[in-house]
Structure formats: structure tokens, C-alpha cells
């Protein structure tokens, strides 16, 4: 199976913007919903719009049109009943996330989670900064992902950017055998575990982090969901790439 196809028209539009030297107006005109949520932010700014339009968004455009050079062959997908691993550089992962942000991927199959920000970024009614918890959740997801893009743009402008871009992100799928040889459920005891009533999972460096997952990788991270899995994916946006790589579990 191959990565869902890109809409060539959108890529052509982004290339045309690139030739216009990334003026903020030209870039904003090609982003879904014209970034309406920027116009509705509260008095306390969550986003540095000068930084975003002047530095981050132009970098995102460059990264988007670099996709053919970063991916010279189809990506392997993590399909059902398979044990497989996909390894990407941080730059490749960021490139895929930029395209998800720009909604240039089509939904190839119901077997995979959707991989576009359309529901967050351009819903029928744009998210409000002062509306109910659902709207605020969607806005905060956007703010968090935009912060990720700010960081990626800054890291690529800093000394040592080449080494940073070669760091790897690994996505793996395992097939667990929960039955005995005769097909009956296994009665083998679990290993000992320790349970703590305080502290945060992020405080335990080097620990394996496990969440009770949705059958689709990422669950509702690019929608209205905001529980354990969605929070983990938003905190580490590179996890969102698993949405396009991983076929439905089970």
C-alpha cells in the first residue's frame, strides 16, 4: 500500500506562492479558511502572528514543496496482521505534518485515520476563542501544533540544523499473541507492575509510555477528541504521523 496521493493542484499553488517570495498575504491566501482563528484571539496573545507569518509559515511552504525530494519512494504502511517499522527523519515527519496542516492529503481508505486538519482548521463554523469547551479544545490543539512548527523553523535556522534533521522518529506495529498453541486464551501471569498515585508520566525519563488506545491511531486528535491518546499526540505532534501510517487496529 502506498501513501495517499497528494492533490497536485494544491502543490502547484504552493509552488506559485514560493515564487512570490512568501509575502504574508500571498501565503495566507492559500491556507484553508484564511487563518480566521488568528483574527479572533483574546487580548492575551497565544500566537506571535509576526513570527508565524514572517518566519514559520514561509518555512512550512518550503518544507511542503520539498516533499518529492524527501520521499523518493512510497512509504511502507503499518497494515493489519503485520509486524513492521517505518523510520522517518524529523524533517520528513515535519513535512508530512505540514501537508496535514494544509489539508493536501485525501482520505484514501476508511481503514486509516484521517490525516488532515480540516475538521480543526476549517469547520463549518470556525472555532471561537470564547465559546464552549469543545471550541476551546480545538483552538488549543491548533496553538500547540503551531508552536511545534515554530520550534521546527527555529531549529532549522540554528547551528547544527543538518544534524537535527537527521534525527529519527520510529513508528512500529507489533502483533501480540495472546493465545496458546491450541487457540485458547493464555493464562500466563503478567509481569509485576508498580502503580503510583501521584506524579506525571512525563516526569519519568526513559520510561515506556502506554495509553489505552482508540482503534484508529491518534483517535480524535484531529477532531474533537481530548483524552489520553489525543493529549499525548498533541504534546508530541510527530506522533500524529501515525494516523496516516497505521491501519485500524484489531
Catalytic residue positions, numbered = 211, 229-230
**Sign of the dihedral defined by the CA atoms of residues 236, 240, 246, 249, in that order:** positive
Q: How far apart are the first and last CA of the chain?
A: 18
Q: How many CB atoms lie within 10 A of CB 210?
A: 9
Is 123:21 a contact under the CB 8 Å cutoff? no
Spatial CA neighbour of 100 closest among 53, 133, 64 = 64
Q: At what angle do helices 90-101 and 57-65 cross, to 10 degrees?
A: 110
Cα 106 to Cα 110: distance, rounded to the nearest angstrom: 11
Amino acid at each position: 500500500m502506498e501513501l495517499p496521493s497528494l492533490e497536485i493542484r494544491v502543490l502547484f499553488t504552493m509552488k506559485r506562492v514560493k515564487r512570490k517570495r512568501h509575502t504574508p498575504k500571498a501565503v495566507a491566501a492559500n491556507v484553508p479558511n484564511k487563518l480566521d482563528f488568528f483574527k479572533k484571539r483574546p487580548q492575551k496573545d497565544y500566537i506571535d502572528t509576526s513570527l508565524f507569518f514572517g518566519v514559520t509559515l514561509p518555512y512550512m511552504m518550503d518544507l511542503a514543496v520539498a516533499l518529492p525530494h524527501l520521499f523518493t519512494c512510497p512509504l511502507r504502511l503499518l497494515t493489519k496482521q503485520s509486524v513492521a517499522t517505518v523510520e522517518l527523519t524529523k524533517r520528513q515527519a515535519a513535512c508530512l505534518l505540514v501537508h496535514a496542516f494544509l489539508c493536501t492529503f485525501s482520505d484514501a481508505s476508511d481503514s486509516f485515520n484521517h490525516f488532515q486538519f480540516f475538521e480543526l482548521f476549517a469547520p463549518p463554523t470556525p472555532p471561537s476563542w470564547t465559546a464552549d469547551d469543545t471550541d476551546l479544545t480545538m483552538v488549543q490543539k491548533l496553538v500547540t501544533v503551531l508552536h511545534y512548527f515554530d520550534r521546527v523553523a527555529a531549529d532549522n535556522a540554528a547551528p547544527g540544523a543538518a544534524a537535527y534533521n537527521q534525527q529519527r522518529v520510529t513508528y512500529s506495529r507489533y502483533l501480540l499473541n495472546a493465545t496458546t498453541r491450541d487457540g485458547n486464551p493464555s493464562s500466563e501471569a503478567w509481569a509485576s507492575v508498580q502503580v503510583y498515585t501521584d506524579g506525571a508520566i512525563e516526569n519519568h525519563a526513559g520510561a515506556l509510555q502506554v495509553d489505552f488506545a482508540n482503534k484508529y491511531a491518534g483517535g480524535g486528535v484531529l477532531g474533537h477528541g481530548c483524552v489520553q491518546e489525543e493529549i499525548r499526540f498533541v504534546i508530541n505532534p510527530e506522533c500524529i504521523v501515525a494516523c496516516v501510517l497505521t491501519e485500524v487496529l484489531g
